[in-house]
Amino acid sequence: MHLARISLNTRRAPRMDQWATMGAAVRDALGADAAGSDVRLLWARTSPTTLIISCDTAPHWEAIPGAVAGTVQPLPRHTEGEVIRWELITAPTTQREATPTDEDPNPRSKRVPLAEDGFREWLDQKLADAAQITSARWKRLGGRPARYHFVGEAVVRDSDALQDLCLDGIGAGKGTGAGLLLTGTATTTR
């Protein structure tokens, strides 16, 4: 389980600001390691010049257009009771149940964007088994469905569940740069 931080030169990478193009480049960076396998892969652009990739196998960051530097490290592991800082870019959604009609007695539910007043409860539910959120704030990034950048602190409840969330992702849009949960040890200020 690896976490890669890659610095990008946006002038050397045309169209890399588009989520689908970036997603294809990230998948290509795994090369033969991901071909025909169940490799777990998440990525996010945390700034115009920073790309972060979380994956079961180490990505070949040099293969990403515009990449000028990169580091690959093991995914951080946290212990139960540890206070962590966390960061998440995702598109919070919920399921809207469809009403049966005579023409369609078994309609499919539809995924719809979640209103901001439901974000804290949504976050608590998504992280419930892994961590207890002690603080959370967010800002809208745009897109459709709308993406948000969440940051906060939490107390680890289950180290394995947190590790799985970091690898499996949270929310919608995982193939296009959303859902990556980043964690680190919280720094205490006095």
Q: Return d(Cα 78, Cα 109) in angstroms, integer.
A: 37
47 lies in the same domain as 113: no
User: What pLDDT is attached to residue 188?
Assistant: 61
User: What pLDDT is attached to residue 32?
Assistant: 55
Q: Which domain holds residue 6?
A: 2-74
65 lies in the same domain as 114: no
Dihedral (CA of 90, 142, 17, 70) sign: negative
Whether residue 70 contacts residue 5, with contact meaning beta carbons closer than 8 Å, is answered with: yes
User: What pLDDT is attached to residue 25?
Assistant: 82
Query: pLDDT per residue over 95-125, tens digit each?
Result: 887 777 888 878 777 888 888 999 999 999 9
The domain boundary, picked from 74, 94, 115, lies at 74
Residue 57 included in any domain: yes
Residue 107's CATH number: 3.30.70.1210
87 lies in the same domain as 181: yes
State which residues of the chain have pLDDT below 50.
Answer: 190
The domain boundary, picked from 74, 92, 108, lies at 74
Whether residue 3 contacts residue 56, with contact meaning beta carbons closer than 8 Å, is answered with: no
Query: Using omega within 30 degrees of 0 as the cis cutoff, is the peptide bond preceding 145 cis?
Result: yes
Residue 190 included in any domain: no
User: What pLDDT is attached to residue 105?
Assistant: 79
Q: Which residues have CB under 8 Å from 23's CB, separation 6+?
A: 43, 175, 176, 177
110 lies in the same domain as 33: no
89 lies in the same domain as 170: yes
Number of other CB atoms surrounding residue 65 within 10 Å: 16
User: What pLDDT is attached to residue 190?
Assistant: 43
109 lies in the same domain as 130: yes
